Each structure stands twice: as C-alpha cells, then as structure tokens.
A and B are shown apart, each in its own frame.
Chain A
C-alpha cells in the first residue's frame, strides 16, 4: 500500500520524463512520429534561432534568480533571526497568499500595472518624476524578468527560511557574543548554512523562468520566447520530436543542476526540520 505513490510517480512522472529522450530521436511524420533514430530535432534546435532564444531565456532566468535572492533572502533571514519562534510561521503565511493566487492571474495582473496607462506610469507622471510613460517595463525582456520575479519570489523566501530553520539559535548567539560583524556573519555563517535552501530556491526560479511560457506570452511582447514557449509552439506545429528534444534539454539542465547542488550542499538538509 505504501508503494502506491512510488508506483504512480514512476509510471506517470519519471517514465514520461525519461522517455522524452527516446521520443526526441524518433522520426517526424505528418501528424505524429515513428520509431527510428535521428538527431534532426536537436540539429533543428541548435542551428536555429531557438538555441539563441534558449540562451537569452537562461540570461533572463539568471537575472530573475539574482533579483529574487536580493529581495527575498533578507526577508527569510529577518524572519528567522528577529521574529519570535512562535510568530515565524505566521509571518511566512503572509507569503503563502500571493503564492497561492493563480500564476496566470498574477502574470495577467502585471499588465495593467506595468502598461503605458498602468498604475506605475500614471503614478510617476502624476508625481512629476517622468513626463512620458516608461515603455521598457512591459512587452520587453525587462517585463519578462519582472514577471518572473513577481511569480516566483515567495519560493526564495520559503526555501531560504526552511534552510535557516534547521540552524540552531545558539550559533547566532555565539556570533553575537563574539561581536561578529554583519558582513562576516552573513558571508561566513548565514550563507553557508542556508546554501541548500538558496540553491533549491534558485533552481526553482531559474528552471521555471526557462520553462513557464505564460510569462513571455503575456509580458514579453512579440518575439519573446523561452524553452516552454518553444516546446508549446512545436506541439502546435505537430513537431513532437522537436518538443521532446526541448523537454530533454530542460530535464537534463534540471537534473544536472540538482545533482551539482546536492553534491555541493546536500539538499536533504532543507527537510531536516520536518523529518
């Protein structure tokens, strides 16, 4: 009975993910694909603008990770260090609410905020800070990065907090007693101890920035794409081997990142407080 979830996930998650590698080398037919071995889909991907777009979306993803870390991680540290033990989970709950509202709605809601006549431009014009609306924040690469940050930021806070929760209070007390400075405390104590959480949060944000097609579709304007959108377009064009090749590239990227992260930081440490 206890093996039911394992069987279900192996059958409907691990197997389809693993089989993408096999399907990606199948031959394309008019409406479907047939068994065979060809690297045409990969050739098609790497020798077209798709590879360049993939690299661009990696850059956007990295920027979203860096911004989310800069905004979110100090919040995780503050909650863990300066909020009483009893109240910590209550404060974290504040970030559950935005995370649980549909990503579709949250991304959609950015349009009336960032647009030419949106709330930000109207406010800045009313305050006399700008005379013309800023157009670079919507239907642009910057719009995509803002959308990614707004969509995935809470995860950096959750993962960072979860990793710091495993750190005993006396470690911070010893540092305080020794008069450790803020910078040294952050770089030598907090960062290494929270590394698994930061890494898990970073991978989540990076991979989703690469793979969630909704953000470039709604906020990126014409020409904005990421891996998820390329895969979607391939499915619409009935080019299933190409869609599977893109999925394979994404899954390989993900597995490689998680493997490296686990070797470096032992990601299971994040679950220590709840195991």
Chain B
C-alpha cells in the first residue's frame, strides 16, 4: 500500500508537473506576444519595447475590415448557436435515443476542419447549382444566389463547429437542475415558457453565458472552414494565414497573433475568474446556511 500524503514531496512534485505542462502549453503563445512588442522583431539581439506593430495592424484598413467581419460572424454564431445548444440539451434530457442524438451532436468535434470544410464547400456548391436549375425549370429568379458561398455558408460552417462545445457546457450546467422544479412550476399554473424563463434559466444562466464566451472565442479563432466557405470576404485569422504563407513571419504577423491571443485570454480568463468567484460565493453561502444547523 502507498500513501501520497505520507511524503508531501510526492504531491508537490505532481503539482509541479501539472503546472509545468500548463506552462509548456502557454509558453509559446506568451513568447509570441513578447516578440510582438519588440521593435526589431524575432531573432534580434536587442529588445526595444514598442506598440508600433500593433499600430501597423490597426492602421491597415484591410485588417480592420477583416476584424469587423470576424466580429459580425462571431455575433451571428452566438445568435444562431446558443438557442440551438439550449434546445439540444433539453432534447437530450427527454429523448430515449440518447446515443444516436449525442453521436450526431458531438461528431463534428471529431471531423478535422479541412475535411469538414471541403465537404461543406462541395455541398453548398451543389446546393447553389440545384437552386439555379430549379429557377430554370420554373422560369423564375426566386432562388437566385441561394447558398452561394458567402456570409451564410461561413456561418453554417461556424455553427456546426462551435455547437458541440456550447452543447456540452450547457448540458453540464443543466445536469445540476432538477426537472421536478419545472413540473412544480407547471403544476402551479406557469406556462412552459414561464417555467423555463423564470425557474430553469436563472439556474443555467452561467452555462449559457460561458457558452456565449466560448462561441465568441472559437468563432474568432476559426480559420480553415471559414477560408473554404466565406466567398468574398476575409476574417482576421484568414488574413493571418495569408500573411504567414505569402509574406512570412513579419512583426505584423506576430502582432496579429498577439491580438488573437490577448482577446482569447481576456475573454476566457474573465469566464474562469467569474466562475471561480461564483463558486466561492456559493460555497460561503452554503457554509453560512449549514452553520445554524450544525450549532443546533
């Protein structure tokens, strides 16, 4: 028999290992951010702190336009994905075919971006051709341009990519909710919507907001599917890929990577801090409620 706690170094070393892995995963990103603030770029012997590369990025009209497109796409992805993830989580609770449903909802996690992007590209091109054919057969122009590559097709690609993450996060929060509360609310005369909005939603709100943050970040970071499905506009990550492949690693590309990393870290960092503070508050409240009982 062994006991990790008999020798405190056993546990300490394991913590060092765990934090070492977190450090190793984050170190390249922090190093990239560090380089992005160097006047002389990567590999220079001298380090002079500057915001110049960021000024260059934010002064480039094409890049600013691509940032705007990225933002629109992220907002549209939130509007489309979150209600669908909520519906999926509720459907999962009530369906008896859980395996088939989960397989359908989570499969996109396992399909690599390039493969899914290629399949959707050919699918949308065929769909668009089908609608053109339908127009010709009917002698009308009703379906002209339907599913041509553009914002809608890029959005569909994004929704398929981000939905599994939002679904899992909402499902985790929903697992703590007792369905009897909805039944009680309905028995007291509440409509289905009132039972959801006034009883269930306040308890799963954290999961919904966290999902919004995840969807924003995933959407902001996605490059491959969008590159194949976007049609005539560019997102920020598409511009970064183009920079890296065509120009190479310039100070500007480091600054672009820096912007993407800092935005992700700020959003996810806020979610983590908020989650930790909330958990702390709930614990304190639970302890405070338990104290009088323990005293008696």
Residues of A within 8 A of B (CB): 1-6, 8-10, 12-17, 19-20, 23, 32, 71-72, 74-75, 78-79, 82, 86, 90-91, 93-98, 100-106, 108-113, 117, 119, 150, 153-154, 176, 179-182, 203-204, 207-208, 210-214, 217-218, 227-229, 231-232, 235, 240, 243-244, 246-247, 250-251, 254, 258, 262, 268, 271, 273-275
Task: Give every chain B residue within 8 A of A1 (Cβ-Cβ).
Answer: 87
Contact B92 A275 (CB under 8 A): yes
Chain B residue with minimal CB distance to A157?
B21
Kindly state whether residue B261 has any CB partner on chain A within 8 Å. Answer: yes
User: What is the distance, in angstroms, from A5's C-beta to the closest C-beta of chain B?
Assistant: 4
Task: Give every chain A residue within 8 A of B90 (Cβ-Cβ).
Answer: 2
Task: Give every chain B residue within 8 A of A119 (Cβ-Cβ).
Answer: 27, 31
Known pairs A204-B109, A214-B224; A179 contacts B84 (CB<8 A):
no
Kindly state whether residue B257 has any CB partner on chain A within 8 Å. Answer: yes
Known pairs A153-B25, A180-B1, A211-B114; A113 contacts B31 (CB<8 A):
yes
Contact A250 B112 (CB under 8 A): yes
Known pairs A5-B91, A231-B115, A250-B115; A12 contacts B120 (CB<8 A):
yes
| Most chain B beta-carbon contacts within 10 A, residue among A4, A119, A153, A228 | A228
Interface size class of B (residues with CB under 8 A): 35 or more
A181 to B35, CA, bound (A): 48
Kindly state whether residue B194 has any CB partner on chain A within 8 Å. Answer: no
Task: Give every chain A residue within 8 A of B245 (Cβ-Cβ).
Answer: 217
Contact A97 B272 (CB under 8 A): yes
A122 to B208, CA, bound (A): 45
Contact A82 B221 (CB under 8 A): no
Known pairs A6-B104, A104-B223; A95 contacts B22 (CB<8 A):
yes
User: What is the distance, in angstroms, from A209's C-beta to the closest C-beta of chain B?
Assistant: 9
A44 to B247, CA, bound (A): 33
Kindly state whether residue B260 has any CB partner on chain A within 8 Å. Answer: yes
Chain A residue with minimal CB distance to B272?
A93
A200 to B35, CA, bound (A): 36
A150 to B25, CA, bound (A): 6
Contact B26 A97 (CB under 8 A): yes
Jot down 12 A-B pairs with beta carbons below 8 A, ordered by A.
A82-B11, A105-B257, A109-B31, A109-B257, A110-B28, A112-B28, A113-B31, A119-B27, A179-B1, A228-B112, A232-B118, A247-B118
B94-102, B130-138, B288-296 - interface stretch: B94-102
Chain A residue with minimal CB distance to B108?
A13
Residues of B within 8 A of A (CB): 1-2, 4, 11, 14, 17-19, 21-22, 24-29, 31-32, 35, 42-43, 84-85, 87-88, 90-94, 98-99, 101-105, 107-116, 118-123, 125-126, 156, 159-160, 163, 168, 171-172, 175, 214, 217-218, 220-221, 223-224, 228, 237, 240-241, 244-245, 249, 253, 257, 260-261, 264-265, 268-269, 272, 275-276, 279, 283
Task: Give every chain B residue within 8 A of A93 (Cβ-Cβ).
Answer: 272, 275-276
A171 to B4, CA, bound (A): 17
Contact of A204 among B14, B110, B114 (CB under 8 A): B110
Contact B260 A102 (CB under 8 A): yes
User: What is the distance, in angstroms, from A111's C-beta to the closest C-beta of chain B?
Assistant: 7
A262 to B116, CA, bound (A): 22
A256 to B90, CA, bound (A): 29
Contact B28 A5 (CB under 8 A): no
Chain B residue with minimal CB distance to A182?
B2
Task: Give every chain B residue within 8 A of A5 (Cβ-Cβ).
Answer: 84-85, 87-88, 91, 105, 163
The 3 closest A-B pairs by CB, nearest first: A211-B112, A228-B114, A102-B221
A102 to B265, CA, bound (A): 10
Contact of A104 among B91, B163, B221 (CB under 8 A): B221
| Most chain B beta-carbon contacts within 10 A, residue among A17, A94, A105 | A105
Contact of B14 among A78, A86, A274 (CB under 8 A): A78
A79 to B11, CA, bound (A): 11
